[in-house]
Amino acid sequence: MKPFTRFASRVVALPNRNVDTDQIIPARFLKTTTKEGLDRQLFHDWRYDAEGHPRPDFVLNQPRARGAQILLAGDNFGCGSSREHAPWALTQFGFRAVISTSFADIFRQNSLKNSLLPVIVPADVHQELFALVERDPEMTLAVDLAGQKLEMPGGRAVEFPIDPFSRQCLLDGVDELGYILQHLPAIEEFEAGRAVPINTLAG
Amino acid sequence: MGMTLAEKILARASGRSAAAPDEVVVASIDLAMSHENADLVRKSFKEIGVARVWDPEKIVIILDHRVPAESEKTATTHKAIREFVREQGIRHFYDVGRGGICHQVLAENGHVKPGMVVVGTDSHTTTHGAFGAFAAGIGATEMAGVWTEGRLWFKVPSTIRILVSGEFPPWLSAKDLILYIIGQLGADGADYRAVEFDGPAIRNLTVASRMVLANLSMEMGAKAAFTPVEEIGPDADARYERVMEIDAAAVLGEPQIACPHAVDNVKPLSALREVPVDQAVLGSCTNGRLEDLEIAARLLAGKRVHERTRLIVIPASQRIYLEAMKLGYIQTLVEAGAMINPPGCGPCVGVHQGILAAGEVCISSTNRNFIGRMGSKDSEVYLASPAVVAASALAGHIAHPEEVEA
């Protein structure tokens, strides 16, 4: 995982409420035995027609989506199944942040473990963002995780909540295991100084 | 100050005297369940690099999503899981033909006890709140951490208490009640909340029916859901975010149907025009238990499934299959023209037998009707009770059981 640095990007708007993980990546693609190549299946059934051709009316197929790293989504994004393939597909497509008023819990937790930042904004800001993207599809937003804020066009900043531990892991570009390994010298020093090894198999 | 059941269980599991909403606690995990995605957990676990799981006795693995293997990819996944459980000495492994749907198998083999903290790599893990456990779905990477450490942090959820009184009208069931509640609260109405069901109408329900309530609470975003047990309960002075009171007799005038393509798009049956049905599905972790097969057998006895409709029945477990066979339900259903699928998730998640074509309509006792959930993105799934599924299979359109009775 790479450190989550400040970035600015165009925004893909997907206003549907309650977008479930079956829409993000249909279950038939979960048979895969690897994590790779899921970007092609992101929003598969919205993105392609019956012959597998991209549907020009779907936002991810439009030029504005190319290179976009921010998904502006409707309320309660990511409800449904616990599949971790949902954040994998989103990040492999190139998204680094999803903005919504709320996220389903398991999806949000899975995202934080996979370098995808769920940004929770109040309803008025949410509506304003959709209006801004509607007016100017080239509009860019900056996501500043260190400052815990969204930088809106015109320079206004909107703060967003995130727990300090997840924030630090994302900033350092580590998952929970990586966080522990950052402290390896201290752990080894402690272990070396312990006189009697504890039998972890007992009790 | 009194505690809700979620607060009480999380406090105990984290070695504290009390816990309140929004506090973060680190809880010991009593039971960790996975299905086919155990293979993903296994891969993350190997990345962590420890040799052994924290406690092989507390891990249960049950193959159910794609059983028996329908493809080489799935067979490869199953094989990797079998090798892993042997390597780690995980005894509680339910292979093809030994179990059924994970949530049913966990329950009927007595793995879940009141007061436990249970996590599963399946969103419907909330089901086990019917046994007084704090049970929540988690992702695969999260589970790899649990396999390593046996602990997991939780933000203590606030609780919505739902008190249900009144008699259920004839033919109406726990499924109608929970669909009604989801329709009222919405798909995000219980996001990161615990839900406590109680009241005389709940206490009259069978355990199987209580499992339906806890199971489907996930579809309104619940972190965990509980129905009452004798061993542990909320304090009398517990604080709730909200208390809802429902009179089942008054609000459940008729069967409740979740219409395409959202579980909270709930309408009373009479609000639907006659909807012709291509496929009817009776099964899943929500409604594939003995009482569900029984009501279907009662409605279908001596009759034939409508010629334009196919009925697929999936007993939730081997044990239910066998019981239903002994009681004659299976014979009745087969004689009526039903096809019996092997115990497992079946077509519910759209990857196993019973997939829908474009333009087809399905009435189903399962738990999700999202676009493309059961096959083609141009198919439609209506969710209903087992009684309505069976009645619709007979009528060839979505029907009230009264319409086909006698």
State whether residue A102 sits within 8 Å of chain B by CB: yes
Mutation target vs A (from B367, B377, B378; most A CBs, 10 A cutoff)? B377
Distance CA A109, CA B374 (A): 26
Query: Would you state the pLDDT for residue A119?
Result: 98
Give the CA count within 13 Å in the CB-facing half-sphere of A50: 8
The predicted pLDDT at position A199 comes to 57
The size of chain B, in residues, is: 406
Nearest CB neighbour to B139, from listed A45, A102, A106: A106
**Residues of B at the A interface (Cβ-Cβ below 8 Å)?**
24, 37, 39-40, 47-48, 66, 71, 73-74, 76-77, 121-123, 137-142, 145, 187-188, 191-192, 221, 223, 262, 264, 349-351, 358, 368, 370-373, 377-378
User: pLDDT tens across A24-62, in order?
Assistant: 999 999 888 788 889 999 999 999 998 999 999 999 999
- Show the CA angle centred on residue B214, arms to residues B66 and B348, nearest 5°: 25
A106 touches B at CB < 8 Å: yes
Q: In this complex, do A50 and B358 lie within 8 Å of one another by their Cβ atoms?
A: yes
- Residues in chain B with CB shorter than 8 Å from the CB of A163 are 24
pLDDT at residue B403 tops 50: yes
Range of the domain at A48: 7-173
- Of residues B249, B69, B209, B40, the one with CA closest to residue B141: B40
- How many Cβ atoms are within 10 Å of B276's Cβ, its own excluded? 13
Q: Is residue A162 part of a domain?
A: yes
Per-domain residue ranges for chain B?
24-155, 158-251, 256-404
**CATH architecture entry for B256-404:** 2-Layer Sandwich (3.30)
pLDDT confidence bin for A177, thresholds 50/70/90: confident
Across B84-105, average pLDDT: 98
List CB contacts of B386: < 8 A, sequence separation 6 or more.
Answer: B173, B175, B282, B287, B291, B292, B293, B295, B296, B365
Taking the CA atoms of chain B, what radius of gyration do you get in angstroms? 21
pLDDT at residue B369 greater than cutoff 90: yes
Q: pLDDT averaged over chain B?
A: 97
3-state secondary structure of B166: coil
Q: Rg (Cα) of chain A, in Å, rounded?
A: 20
Domains B158-251 and B256-404 share a fold: no
Count how many domains chain A has: 1
- Predicted pLDDT of residue B196: 98
Q: What is the pLDDT of residues B177-219, one digit of tens each?
A: 999 999 999 999 999 999 999 999 999 999 999 999 999 999 9
Please compute the mean of the pLDDT values over residues B131-146 and round it to a whole number. Answer: 97
Q: Do B370 and A177 touch (CB under 8 A)?
A: no
Consecutive H or E run containing A98: strand A97-100
B-interface mutation test, from A23, A30, A181, most B Cβ less than 10 A away: A30
CA distance A50 to chain B (A): 9
Q: Could you give the ipTM of this predicted complex? A: 0.86
Residue A203: is its pLDDT beyond 50?
A: no
> Domain B158-251, CATH 3.40.1060.10 — does that match?
yes
CB contact under 8 A, A104 and B223: no
Quick check: B221 pLDDT over 50? yes
Residue B65 contacts residue B345 (beta carbons within 8 Å): yes
**Residue B351 gets which letter from DSSP?**
S
Confirm or reject contact between A116 and chain B (CB < 8 A).
no
Asked whether residue A2 is assigned to any structural domain, the reply reads no
Which has the closest alpha carbon to A64: A158, A139, A162, A163?
A139
Nearest C-alpha of chain B: how many angstroms from A17? 9
Contact criterion met (CB < 8 Å) for A80 and B372: no
pLDDT band at A196 (very low <50, low <70, confident <90, very high): low
> From the list A33, A75, A109, which residue is nearest B73 (CB)?
A33
Q: Which tokens is A45 given?
A: 């059934």
pLDDT at A180: 86
Average pLDDT over residues B72-77: 95
Q: What is the pTM of this model?
A: 0.92
Q: How far apart are the first and last CA of chain B?
A: 55
- CATH code of the domain covering residue A161: 3.20.19.10
Average pLDDT over every residue of B48-60:
96
Mean pLDDT of all residues in chain A?
A: 92
Short-list B65, B356, B84, B60, CA closest to A31? B65
Nearest to B188 among A33, A76, A106 (CB): A76
**pLDDT at residue A35 in the model:** 82
Q: Does A28 touch chain B (CB under 8 A)?
A: yes
pLDDT score recorded for residue A197: 57
SS3 B150: coil
Pairing of the two strands B361-364 and B310-313: unpaired
- The rounded distance, in Å, linking the Cα atoms of A55 and A95 is 20
Mutation choice for A interface testing from B123, B192, B223, B379 by most A CBs within 10 A? B123
- Closest to B370 (Cβ–Cβ): which among A22, A28, A106? A22
Q: Please report whether residue A154 resides in a domain.
A: yes
Q: What kind of architecture, by CATH, is found in domain B24-155?
A: 2-Layer Sandwich (3.30)
Sorting pLDDT into bands at 50, 70 and 90, what band is A198? low
Helical H runs in chain A?
A: 21-24, 44-47, 85-93, 105-112, 123-135, 164-172, 176-182, 184-193
Alpha helices of B280-358 — where are they, by DSSP H? 284-287, 290-300, 318-326, 329-335
| B296-321 confidence digits (pLDDT tens) | 999 999 999 999 999 999 999 999 99
- Asked whether A136 and A109 are in contact (CB, 8 A), the reply is no
Among A4-13, A190-199, B6-15, B92-101, which stretch is predicted with the lowest mean pLDDT?
Answer: A190-199
Contact B187 A76 (CB under 8 A): yes
